[in-house]
Amino acid sequence: MCDNHQKPITASDKPEFFGIDRYGFPEAGEHPLDPAEYYPPYFWSERFQKLGYHVEELRGGFYWVTSGGYDAGFVVTDDGVIAIDAPPTLGENMLAAIEDVTDKPVTHVIYSHWHTDHIGAASIYGPEVEIVAHEITKELLERFPDPGRPLPTITFAEDYTLTVGGVTLELSYKGENHCPGNIFIYAPKQKVLTCIDIISPGSATFMHCDASQNITAWYEAQHQIMEYDFDYLIAGHHMKYGTPALVKEAIEYFADVLEGAQEAVDIYSRSDRLMDILLKPGLDRFWVGSENWINSMANYATKHVLEKKTSNGKIWSERLAGVTTQTKYHAYTVLESIRLERPRPTYRLRGENPPPFHA
């Protein structure tokens, strides 16, 4: 590897880092630069480049911490600190961020959900803390034990109010979305909402709807976020906190993904189109035809999203980061959600051949 690939990334690298040649991948030239507003000023700061994390007070002692790829939060109360999550990519920098603003100990930890990429460093808080989580999160951690993710000491089924040192947090479980046990954490006084892995402010979100398990419910959770009176959203990724406007932008983008995926399923599941694609490679190459069918639908939905003029007259790559790399993955996941989770308009009748609409 040549020397320029080994040099540390600095603010002066900004144009090259997000251009074509930084890592010598020619395919990067096929994608536009991310919208400039995606990258907040701290990202290019000397402090962030040196320390690798950023901490910022949102309101009333509620702090947001980011490593550039993962987000977490904490609240300073009169009696100690309530920490929310512990991503391994932050690791002990989460403790450093807390120590930047207070010398009070962490007394409580809240697990947003059980995934190790968000709570895999929770052991850093020590053995004396109270850990609050949904009962499904505890069940999963008991089933798949991990010393980095200590078991919760307090669990709940639907709603739980945590009050520590004059600060109140309202925890709510609205059912499986990103995964079973993923909760909403709301600070009503500060108007800060934490809801992890539902959107990623300013970006198209990581592939496959952020690797979510129940896509229909994941879409529902986007709208459930908007039911809260919040000014700030800690969303888990990627380098900025959310606002109501950024959540609405994400909702619009994924509505377009769903629209394109539904059109694709409707068009490519007609008997004539379906059988033509499935049988074209030959009866002895059924799985090639199946891949062609899925790819045809995903490509249709992706084209629909990438070329569509959005509500402000721009295309999505001009509004959100990562659109051209992530949309096809989302399209595939959403069209599978349509096929597996949503009502079918009909079913095959006895003796009918070939299959009807919507295979």
> pLDDT by residue (tens digit) across 261-275?
999 999 888 777 777
Residues 264 and 124 in one domain: no
Cα of 102 vs its chain's centroid, Å:
29
pLDDT at 10: 39
* Stated pTM of the model: 0.89
pLDDT band (50, 70, 90) for residue 289: confident
Tell me how long the chain is: 359
Lowest mean pLDDT among 18-22, 51-55, 204-208, 354-358: 18-22
User: Does residue 358 lie in a domain region?
Assistant: no
Residues 295 and 227 in one domain: no
Q: Are 63 and 93 in contact (CB under 8 A)?
A: no
pLDDT above 70 covers a percentage of the chain that reads 90
User: Does residue 277 lie in a domain region?
Assistant: yes
Q: β-strand 167-172 against 159-164: which pairing, if any?
A: antiparallel
User: Does residue 64 lie in a domain region?
Assistant: yes
User: Which pLDDT tens digit goes with each residue over 165-210?
Assistant: 999 999 999 999 999 999 999 999 999 999 999 999 999 999 999 9
pLDDT at 52: 93
Residues 137 and 65 in one domain: yes
Q: List all residues 6 or more positions away from 131 whose beta carbon is below 8 Å from its beta carbon.
A: 108, 109, 110, 111, 122, 150, 151, 152, 153, 154
pLDDT at 12: 40
Euclidean distance between CA atoms 206 and 208, whole angstroms = 7
Q: Contacts from 154-163 at CB under 8 Å and sequence distance 24+? A: 154/130, 156/132, 160/132, 162/82, 162/108, 162/110, 162/132
Phi, psi of 119 (to 5 degrees): -130, 15
pLDDT band (50, 70, 90) for residue 314: very high
Euclidean distance between CA atoms 308 and 327, whole angstroms = 13
Structural domain range at position 328: 254-341
Q: Residue 106, exposed/middle/buried by CB under 10 A (0-12, 13-18, 19+)?
A: buried
User: Does residue 293 lie in a domain region?
Assistant: yes
User: Does residue 248 lie in a domain region?
Assistant: no
**Which single residue is written with the structure tokens 């951690």?**
141
pLDDT at 5: 34
Euclidean distance between CA atoms 202 and 37, whole angstroms = 8
Identify the domain boundary among 242, 273, 308: 242
Residue 128: count of CB within 10 angstroms of its CB: 8
CATH of the domain at 209: 3.60.15.10
Beta-strand runs (E) in the chain? 54-59, 62-66, 71-77, 80-84, 106-110, 130-134, 154-156, 159-164, 167-172, 184-187, 192-195, 232-234
pLDDT at 286: 79
Of 51, 119, 49, nearest to 84 by C-alpha is 119
Give the mean pLDDT of the chain. 89
Q: Are 271 and 355 in contact (CB under 8 A)?
A: yes
As for how many domains the chain has, the answer is 3
pLDDT band (50, 70, 90) for residue 330: very high
Residues 51 and 200 in one domain: yes
